[in-house]
Amino acid sequence: MNHPQIRVAVAATTTQRVTVNLFGFLNCEKPPGMTSRDLVNVVSRRLGKKTKVGHAGTLDPLAEGVLVLGVGPAVRLIPYLQQQPKRYRAIFRLGQSSESGDLEGPITDHPDLPHPSEASLQQAARSLVGTIEQTPSAYSAIWVDGQRAYKRARAGEVVAMPTRQVQIDSLQIDRYEFPEFEFETVCGSGTYIRSLGIDLARAAGSMAVMSYLKRLAVGPHEAQNSISLERLREDDLSIMLSPCAPSIAHLRQIKVDPDQCRRLGHGLCIDGSPLPDSETPNQEAAAVTGDGQLRAILKWKDEAWFPRKVFPIDEGQL
């Protein structure tokens, strides 16, 4: 059975063609060697030019794993999904370095560097948990002056990368067999795992290159439930969409009745009480119907909740 907010059939036209409005997220499995844009293009071609598609968090071409796509109006929710934590698994090789920080560039061996103990690696990992300063690799997918950094670096440009603050919630060394170590991390948006592993090796007195990276989860979207490229190309995408509300579960929810839904649909505010942290500027909440449909993103101002983003719902379900 289709979720009422995922697939909404619109009245047939005189030519008996039926338009289907899609609204939700696709939890896709990006294979290595493909860019995030390539995967978006696969889905866009299936759905046609009238349906917007966007991805939540770029994966470098060498990486694999979860790439969540927003479909239809859900594209407007991508910044909120980006606020959810991400989980990665990575493998690094100690005693080596490269300009790209991975195996794609020419590798330089450093045989004179010490072999860190497992205890020193674990200690280094603990030192990188929390809010840290990070300088992404010039071969990352970050935008610099309107172009992906890795494209400029591969063209031979010297790219000055900005330092940023990122949040590392956990960083656990799961395997260490010199020269390789493997870790799993839960982190916030904007974290570059390649830089994290290199910083970890440096903190343990060595250098490293990344040999493998997989994104295991973005918020509630996990790798074991992701959709393969083959299925994205061949199967009915509408039945694979996930509803939007779980993807923004970190926002406070406000239940709205049918009258409030109609007001929000007309751009009008609804009465209500501020959330406990109402002193926070630009406080936002999600307006959700009794059956779990996301109606709007709300903003508290002037003692009322105003719609910031409004989304379609199946009013027959109210």
**7-83+220-245 CATH choice from 2.60.40, 3.30.160, 3.40.1130, 3.30.70:** 3.30.70
Residue tagged 């674990």 (tokens):
122
Question: Is 70 exceeded by the pLDDT of residue 19?
Answer: no
Distance of CA 225 to the CA centre of its chain: 15
Q: What is the pLDDT of residues 58-100, one digit of tens each?
A: 898 899 999 999 999 999 999 999 999 999 999 999 999 998 8
Domain boundaries in the chain? 7-83+220-245, 86-218, 251-317
Residue tagged 């973005």 (tokens):
218
Structure tokens at 43: 């889905």
Highest mean pLDDT out of 136-150, 269-283, 302-316:
302-316
pLDDT at 137: 75
Domain 251-317 class, CATH top level = mainly beta
60 part of the active site: yes
pLDDT at 10: 37
Question: Is 60 exceeded by the pLDDT of residue 310?
Answer: yes
Average pLDDT over residues 130-156: 78
Residue with more model confidence, 152 or 225: 225
User: Percent of the chain scored above 70 by pLDDT?
Assistant: 89
- Check 60, 109, 145, 277 and give the catalytic one: 60
Question: Is 60 exceeded by the pLDDT of residue 4?
Answer: no
pLDDT at 8: 39
Contacts 24+ apart (CB under 8 A), 265-270: 265/295, 265/310, 267/307, 267/310, 268/307, 269/302, 269/304, 269/305, 269/306, 269/307, 270/298, 270/304, 270/305
Question: Is 70 exceeded by the pLDDT of residue 314?
Answer: yes
pLDDT at 22: 92
Average pLDDT over residues 131-144: 79
Instruction: Report the distance separating Cα 107 and Cα 193, nearest Å.
Output: 19
* 7-83+220-245 matches 251-317 in fold: no
**Domain covering 86-218 in this structure, CATH number:** 3.30.2350.10
Among 54-58, 162-166, 187-191, name the one with the lowest average pLDDT: 162-166
pLDDT at 111: 95
Highest mean pLDDT out of 216-220, 245-249, 282-286:
216-220
Q: What is the pTM of this model?
A: 0.87
Selection from 167, 166, 159 nearest residue 140 by Cα: 159
Among 95-109, 130-144, 229-243, 276-290, name the one with the lowest average pLDDT: 276-290
Residue 44's pLDDT band, with cuts at 50, 70 and 90, is very high
